Amino acid sequence: MSSDHERREILIATIADLLDGIRHVAVGASSPIPAAGAMLLRARNERDGKPPVRISILGSQAHNFFTNGGIELFDCAAQGRVDAFFLGGGQIDGEGNINLVGTGDYPKTDVRWPGSFGSAYLYHLVPRVILFREEHSPRVFVPKVDFVSARAITPEVPRRGGPYALLTNMALFDFDREAGGFVLRSVHPPFTPADIRENTGFDYAVPDVVRETQRPDAATLALLRGRVFDELAETYPAFARTMKQAA
Amino acid sequence: MTEIVALEALAARVAPGQSLAIPVDRSGVAMAATAAIIEAGIDDLHLICVPISGLQADLLIGAGAVKTLETSAISLGEAGGAPRFGAAVRAGSVTLRDATCPAIHAGLSAAQHGVPFMPIAGIIGSDLLKVRPDWKVIDSPVGEARKVVVVPAITPDIALFHAPEADRAGNVRIGRFRELATMAYASRKTLVTVERIVDRNLLETEDSAAGVLPSLYVDAIAVAERGAWPLALWDEYPADEAEIARYAAMARSEDGFRAYLSAFLTHRKQVA
């Protein structure tokens, strides 16, 4: 990959593909790339005459239709009206559990991250949770998280929600809920499956053929660099400006 | 009746050791009142972030005003991690009550409805249940047999927020930030700072009344112009990103934080 902005364009286009078919996607705070991916899907569906996509972007006024305060996103998810959401993690383990709290022993953690936000709840309720973390390293992708902010699989209770995919700077994984683990789907050029193995601290399945992550086509890039970055600028002005300038 | 008082008098209604509910950064944060609270030396607070906080919580923690912190996250957003929060966790100087956003809303909702607890979806499997022994997993007493989490009612001593305007009777415009109403319903007392007091009656028409918290729930109001600065206030003014970034850089060290805090308190006094 030749540059940061091209890498980010691939991530945004990949997110739009992962969201294909959904009716409503919500995007949490500090998430410019997921927000851009959601906007790209909406723009592409409009262009292609496909069903409309609703987007709720936390912190946006123009791209957020909620009127019932901070609780509405959570109520909406509980009602089955949110099809997709994004979560990250200071640590993510091979079972799909995420840690947004810190490393070491709670409460006096060695490194303290902001906190669990809505993860413990939304992971149960949103069918297509996309785990998104740019840094792909063994310190992030660990065999077992130090603190489970949100658990991926809980056979003891019925749930519709959970991890759907994991997208990083290097690769895209699917999550197999039956097996309870990740499956490598594609590798972003110029990385190889061996690079992924070296930088991932947990075990995952590898299919016989691992393809390269698709680069966005010219029409997608035009949509992205035009309408999508313009829409994104309301919530993420600095990010949108940088991406437009680099393009 | 709602009293309209000076900012310092409003802050003086918060007593050491009380629980104080504050809203998320974008909802209307009473930063000027926070400066007045710190200035008055009010400490031992049990801070309840609805459902997360940023600069306000970090300032209060850094100033030594917080004994217990109940929150789903503390973050300065684009400016990065909250440095004084991180330092307090490492030092063990603040008692943590880690939560998840909808559980805080649910706890306030229980208080709003006058019931001892509220059931809530999800959460099962999270280590939050280990560090929050006050949250229980029960067998659902109705419907299909299943486990469900219940969280106790959260009844803050004080709710504190900032809004664009109130009328002379003490009705406060909260727009669609309905969590401000929930905070007020749940809390024993509600203190509000506003950009301005307006002469018209906010409850006069259906349109104007729709986004209004009635004065019944509001104990005292103080005018504080640019009272959310450096945070944003809805359509009134955007966040002062440069100032927040400056805080994030300075607050990395204890000395830097002290210097920032001193300048912040002085600045607020000059504005007032």
Query: Distance between CA atoms of A137 and A171, rounded to whole angstroms?
Result: 11
Query: Distance between CA atoms of A212 and B63, rounded to whole angstroms?
Result: 52
Q: What is the residue-averaged pLDDT of chain A?
A: 95
> For the residues A189-218, what does the mean pLDDT come to?
96
The pLDDT score that the predictor gives to residue A29 is: 81
Phi, psi at A57, each rounded to 5°: -110, 115
- Reply yes or no on whether the pLDDT at A2 is more than 60: no
Q: Could you tell me whether strands B147-152 and B136-139 are parallel, antiparallel, or unpaired per DSSP bridges? A: antiparallel
Say whether B125 and A154 touch across the interface (CB within 8 A). Answer: yes
| Residues A28-40: tens digit of each pLDDT | 888 999 999 999 9
Residue B24 makes CB contacts below 8 A (sequence gap 6+) with A70, B49, B50, B51, B52, B53, B54, B179
Say whether A117 and B103 touch across the interface (CB within 8 A). Answer: no
Residue B189 makes CB contacts below 8 A (sequence gap 6+) with B13, B157, B158, B159, B219, B220
Query: Distance between CA atoms of A224 and B13, rounded to whole angstroms?
Result: 52
Per-residue pLDDT of chain B (272 residues; tens, 9 = 90+): 899 999 999 999 999 999 999 999 989 999 999 999 999 999 999 999 999 999 999 999 999 999 999 999 999 988 889 999 999 999 999 999 999 999 999 999 999 999 999 999 999 999 999 999 999 999 999 999 999 999 999 999 999 999 999 999 999 999 999 999 999 999 999 999 999 999 999 999 999 999 999 999 999 999 999 999 999 999 999 999 899 999 999 999 999 999 999 999 998 877 66
Phi, psi at A23, each rounded to 5°: -100, -35
Alpha helix (H) residue ranges in B187-253: 206-209, 241-250
Mutate to test the interface with A, among B67, B70, B97, B100 (most CBs of A within 10 A): B100
Mutate to test the interface with B, among A60, A117, A144 (most CBs of B within 10 A): A117
Mutate to test the interface with A, among B25, B47, B89 (most CBs of A within 10 A): B89
The pLDDT score that the predictor gives to residue B272 is: 62
Return the residue matching tokens 């349109």.
B207
- Reply yes or no on whether the pLDDT at A1 is more than 50: no
The pLDDT score that the predictor gives to residue A246 is: 84
Which chain A residue lies closest to B104 (C-alpha atoms)? A71
Query: Distance between CA atoms of A129 and A121, rounded to whole angstroms?
Result: 12
Quick one: which of A51, A90, A31, A99 has its CA closest to A235? A31
Which chain A residue lies closest to B24 (C-alpha atoms)? A70
pTM of the model: 0.96
| Residues A114-154: tens digit of each pLDDT | 999 999 999 999 999 999 999 999 999 999 999 999 999 99
| Residues A79-123: tens digit of each pLDDT | 999 999 999 999 999 999 999 999 999 999 999 999 999 999 999
Structure-derived torsion over alpha carbons of residues A235, A133, A18, A115, reported in degrees to the nearest 10: -70
Query: Distance between CA atoms of B29 and B56, rounded to whole angstroms?
Result: 8
Say whether B75 and A109 touch across the interface (CB within 8 A). Answer: no
Phi, psi at B184, each rounded to 5°: -70, -45
Where does the pLDDT of residue A237 fall: very low under 50, low under 70, confident under 90, or very high at 90 and above? Answer: confident
Of all residues in chain A, the percent with pLDDT exceeding 90 is 89
Neighbouring C-beta atoms of residue A233, cutoff 10 Å: 15
Of all residues in chain A, the percent with pLDDT exceeding 70 is 99
The ipTM is: 0.95
Find the CB nearest A69 among B81, B131, B178.
Answer: B178
Query: Distance between CA atoms of A141 and A145, rounded to whole angstroms?
Result: 9
Say whether B128 and A158 touch across the interface (CB within 8 A). Answer: no
Distance from CA of B270 to the nearest CA of A (A): 30
Query: Distance between CA atoms of B264 and B260, rounded to whole angstroms?
Result: 6
- Residues of chain A in contact with residue B105, where contact means CB-CB under 8 angstroms, are 70-71, 74
The pLDDT score that the predictor gives to residue B161 is: 98
